[in-house]
Amino acid sequence: MQTFFGSDRHWGPHGRRILRLVMVLAALGVLHATGPIAYAGPRAAALESEEDDLSPDARFTVIRAGKVITVSGSELRNATIVIADGKIRNVGQAIKYPGNAKVIDARDRVVMPGLINPSSRFRLPRYRRTGVHANQTVASEFFSNDYTYERLRETGYTLLALRPDGRGIPGRGMVVRTMGPTDQQVVVETSYVYIDASKRGLRSALEQAQKEIEKVAEARKKYEEKKEQAREEDTPPPSTQPVSQPTTQPAASQPAAFEPPKIRPELEPLVALLEKREGYRALVVVDNASEYLHVREVLKKHEIAHDLMLRSFQSTDFFRVAETLGEAEAHVVVRPYINTVPNSAERYLLVKELEAAGCTVSVMPSGDNEYGMGVVLQRLSESVREGWSRTSAFKSVTLHPAKLLGLDDRFGSIERGKVADLILLDADPLRPGARVREVMINGEIVHRADEEQR
């Protein structure tokens, strides 16, 4: 058959089926394209194959953008994002989408993933917990309404990792969206174990947790010994008498099931870290290069899954341990400063040096408030002008924080299957004066900038 697409004998059996499907849909006006239909092979099949897991009443939203910064791949001009059930179904140029989809004309916008803050206390009560309380959670103090994070949505932040307050080991964090129904706003109820302790305090806490592990192991050993002893006592000696009618032996007494001794609640998450249980990870805070080296000694002896927050300010000496951090392939959280060597005017870029050494870099705002989060993109722009790569800058506030939180399979980039948490800007994010105009969370627009702000 000769068609607009050429002779169908060139398409093969599978291709011919797809071709006929596209022609029927086009005739019915059900299928649209963002450009001329020039190809109906695997690209057209991609959307069809992903519709199998959609709900029966799935609603499609399409964003036609001037530019899409995917973060995970190339930046795309004049691209389309297809969204259904709050997830990204497809992204690219000249892709297909259902004719009844809601279309957002964003050809004057730049679209990128929503920003993710890896460590915040925004709008949480202030207190100073000290000591070891690893079983405490931020969830017990969290409450929000539609207005709690309204100002943060204006800055482009769509996810926050809320940390417990205090020194020592004050508890575990949680991850929340900056908007949405209560049952959807909490993304992770118990996240990383937050550790802001000295070398001595961290060593003491981990040693106590290790003793709890040994306590359980010793109890199990005694239980197994008692069980074996009972089995031996219940086994009759071999008989030397002639074989007679079989007799029924009394059943061997079985010891009760093993009940491990209780772990001290405040140490349970640390025990889980030492036992390398899945889903447990620590965020360890250090203030300077020397403190990192001291804490590193403890972490080498007590191996736990962890990332590092370098509580750096503009003047910092963390450049002295950049190579050491890189050798460990550390994931580090830093503030977005152009740095200076302490007691000098010599400038350097810590984020660039850390990345060059082999670290994964996540950026947290310079201030835990609306202003600090509002200037993050401006600070990244300054770092890029100082030589940091554009791609690395974008990853540091999207994909890398998602990875640190164990959520990079759902958030942090614009690609198929991920949650549609997006921000739409009126210019390139690193251009001075660029503003967030719309914010989308879970596929729904939750914020629009006032017209007078244009």
Residue at 454 is within a domain: no
d(CA 238, CA 65): 86
Encoded tokens for 272? 């889980």
Using one digit for the tens of pLDDT, what is the confidence trace for 45-82? 334 444 455 666 788 999 999 999 999 999 999 999 99
- C-alpha 437/C-alpha 388 separation (Å) is 26
The mean of the pLDDT values for the chain is 87
Task: Say yes or no: 45 and 176 in one domain.
Answer: no
Residues 222 and 335 in one domain: yes
Q: Find the CATH number of the domain harbouring 320.
A: 3.20.20.140
Residue whose pair of structure tokens reads 């005017």 in the numeric block: 345
**What's the rounded Cα separation, in Å, for the pair 148 and 160?**
12
Residue where one domain finishes, among candidates 114, 134, 149: 114
The predicted model gives 236-259 an average pLDDT of 64
Residue 405 phi, psi (nearest 5): -90, 0
pLDDT score for 233: 77
Domain count, the chain: 2
Is the pLDDT at 451 greater than 60? The verdict is: no
Give the Cα separation of 392 and 424 in Å (integer).
20
User: Is residue 244 very low, low, confident or very high in pLDDT (cuts 50, 70, 90)?
Assistant: low
User: Is residue 83 located within the same domain as residue 150?
Assistant: no
Let me know whether 104 and 215 are in one domain: no
| Three-state SS at 312 | coil
Overall average pLDDT of the 261-276 stretch = 97
Domain end residue (candidates: 114, 130, 149): 114
**pLDDT surpassing 80 at residue 442:** yes
Residues 274 and 373 in one domain: yes
pLDDT at 237: 67
Same domain, 143 and 85: no
Quick one: pLDDT at residue 407?
Answer: 98
Determine the pLDDT at residue 113. Answer: 98
> Angle 22-24-27 (CA atoms, 0-180°, nearest 5)?
105
Domain annotation covers residue 327:
yes
The boundaries of the domain holding residue 82 are: 2-114
* pLDDT average, residue stretch 269-282: 97
Has residue 288 been placed in a domain? yes
pLDDT of residue 33: 47
Residue 241: pLDDT band (50, 70, 90) is low
The answer on 143 and 95 residing in a single domain is: no
Calpha distance 355→396 (Å, rounded): 11
Report percent pLDDT > 70 for the chain.
81
For residue range 175-230, what is the model confidence (pLDDT) as tens digits? 999 986 667 799 999 999 999 999 999 999 999 999 999 999 999 999 998 888 88
Is 334 in the same domain as 204?
yes
Quick one: pLDDT band at residue 447, thresholds 50, 70, 90?
Answer: very high
Residue 257 lies in a domain: no
Task: Give yes or no for residue 12 having a pLDDT over 70.
Answer: no
- Stretch 255-282: mean pLDDT, rounded? 94
Task: Give me the pLDDT at residue 13, please.
Answer: 53
- Residue 143 forms part of a structural domain: yes
Residue at 431 is within a domain? no
Q: Are residues 89 and 149 in the same domain?
A: no
- Does residue 406 have a pLDDT over 80? yes
Domain match, 67 and 129 both: no
Domain boundary among 114, 134, 161: 114
Lowest mean pLDDT among 178-192, 367-381, 436-450: 178-192
pLDDT reading at 419 higher than 50 = yes
Are the C-beta atoms of 333 and 403 separated by less than 8 Å? no
For residues 267 and 155, state if they share a domain.
yes
- For residues 86 and 157, membership in a common domain is answered with no
Is 253 contained in some domain? no
Is 388 within a domain? Answer: yes
- Number of other residues whose CB lies within 10 A of the CB of residue 394: 24
Q: Higher pLDDT residue, 174 or 25?
A: 174
CATH number, domain of 29, equals 2.30.40
Residues with Cβ within 8 Å of 209's Cβ and at least 6 positions away in sequence, in order, are: 267, 270, 271, 273, 274
pLDDT digits (tens, 9 = 90+) for 316-352: 999 999 999 999 999 999 999 999 999 999 999 999 9
Range 114-130 average pLDDT: 93
Q: Which residue has the higher pLDDT, 68 or 142?
A: 68
C-alpha neighbours within 13 Å on the C-beta side of residue 213: 15
| pLDDT of residue 44 exceeding 60 | no
pLDDT at 146: 72
